């Protein structure tokens, strides 16, 4: 018997849960040895059938939605297919990523032949914090750098965020497919987790029956925002201990736009806009800050 999944939001039509890293959404022949499945665990936990409407990679943790009846499943699936949703992810990546980047880089499915047509893929990135450790993970460098990046995909290709960050030369720490093996092992030894550091942080989508815009949050509050931002509604405890440890126990330097309001002369605060730009950076509007889960009339554009 597995530990019950943490429920973030639920009514008679749908449920949002926190998917732990290492769990599959449902059974698949590709991972025949796996025993942890969100769909089966949630079905047993709620005592009713549940319907998957989107997916997260096995290594990704965070907000995952399931429908509780077939009509809701059709409506929610349609919302994802028609890009009526708004997703925000957090990732820890190799090196100092650009302050802001917009990647418009077509992708073909991972298992497609080389001559298969590519599909449009678009992701916006923003660096929230950066980290420098005074020890080398690579003998070519004296220090090890990492960045905390917010990712907002506007298309839904498989492994899109992971592949676009690789395209920027800033792969996600722990990404065994698109990252660097020696660096992943170096970080695993220090963090105590051999895992993909990608987190489904926030999801906005229209309610399948009322049409109201649901704004769902994983419960992970950034330290730089916690002092000035209302915390999510609902249960106070969510299974984000690994991410909380990463963000609070390591010497991250937060950008001015996200840092807590403290002494403006502190030497620990840096403007991330001064970071070296590794790619052509598009001019982006500031992304919306964290808001607690709530319902509002659903706009014509994806919930933001």
Query: Which is the catalytic residue, given 31, 57, 71, 111?
Result: 57
Q: Residue 43 class from Cβ within 10 Å (0-12 exposed, 13-18 middle, 19+ buried)? A: middle
Helix (H) or strand (E) holding 41: helix 38-46
- DSSP classification of residue 283: P
Max CA pair span of the chain: 57
CA 1 to mean position of chain CA atoms: 27
Rg for the chain, CA atoms, rounded: 19
CA 110 to mean position of chain CA atoms: 20
**Is residue 199 within 8 Å of 90, Cβ to Cβ?**
yes
Query: Where do we find the tokens 């969100």?
Result: 38
Quote the CA–CA distance of 230 and 102 in Å, as a whole number: 29
Quote the CA–CA distance of 207 and 72 in Å, as a whole number: 9
Quote the CA–CA distance of 48 and 279 in Å, as a whole number: 49
Nearest residue to 212 via CA among 8, 7, 6, 14: 14
CA 70 to mean position of chain CA atoms: 27
Q: Which residues of 83-118 are buried (b: 16+ CB within 10 A; e: fewer)?
A: ebbbbbbbbbbbbbbbbbbbbebebeeeeeeeeeee
Catalytic residue flag (residue 71): no
DSSP per position, 169-197: T-PBTT-TTTS-HHHHHHHHHHHS--S--
Active site residues: 57
């Amino acid at each position: 018997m597995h530990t019950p999944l943490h429920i973030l939001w639920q009514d008679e039509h749908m449920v949002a849960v926190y998917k732990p890293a290492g769990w599959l959404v449902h059974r698949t022949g590709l991972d025949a040895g796996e025993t942890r499945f969100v769909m089966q665990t949630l079905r047993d936990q709620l005592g009713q059938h549940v319907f998957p409407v989107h997916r997260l990679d096995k290594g990704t943790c965070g907000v995952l939605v399931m429908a509780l009846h077939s009509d809701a499943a059709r409506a929610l699936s349609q919302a994802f297919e028609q890009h009526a949703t708004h997703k925000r992810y957090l990732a820890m990546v190799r090196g100092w990523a650009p302050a802001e980047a917009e990647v418009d880089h077509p992708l073909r499915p991972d298992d497609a032949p080389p001559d298969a047509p590519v599909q449009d893929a678009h992701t916006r990135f923003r660096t929230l914090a950066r980290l420098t450790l005074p020890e080398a993970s690579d003998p070519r460098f004296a220090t090890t750098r990492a960045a905390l990046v917010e990712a907002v995909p506007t298309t839904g290709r498989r492994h899109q965020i992971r592949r676009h960050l690789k395209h920027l030369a800033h792969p996600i720490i722990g990404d065994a497919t698109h990252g660097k093996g020696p660096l992943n092992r170096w970080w695993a030894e220090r963090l105590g987790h051999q895992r993909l550091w990608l987190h489904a942080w926030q999801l906005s989508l229209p309610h399948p029956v009322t049409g109201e815009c649901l704004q769902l949050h994983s419960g992970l509050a950034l330290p730089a925002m916690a002092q000035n931002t209302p915390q999510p509604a609902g249960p106070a405890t969510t299974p984000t201990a690994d991410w909380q440890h990463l963000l609070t126990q390591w010497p991250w330097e937060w950008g001015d736009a996200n840092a807590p309001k403290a002494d403006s002369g502190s030497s620990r605060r840096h403007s991330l806009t001064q970071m070296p730009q590794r790619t052509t950076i598009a001019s982006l509007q500031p992304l919306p800050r964290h808001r607690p889960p709530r319902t509002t009339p659903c706009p014509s554009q994806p919930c933001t």
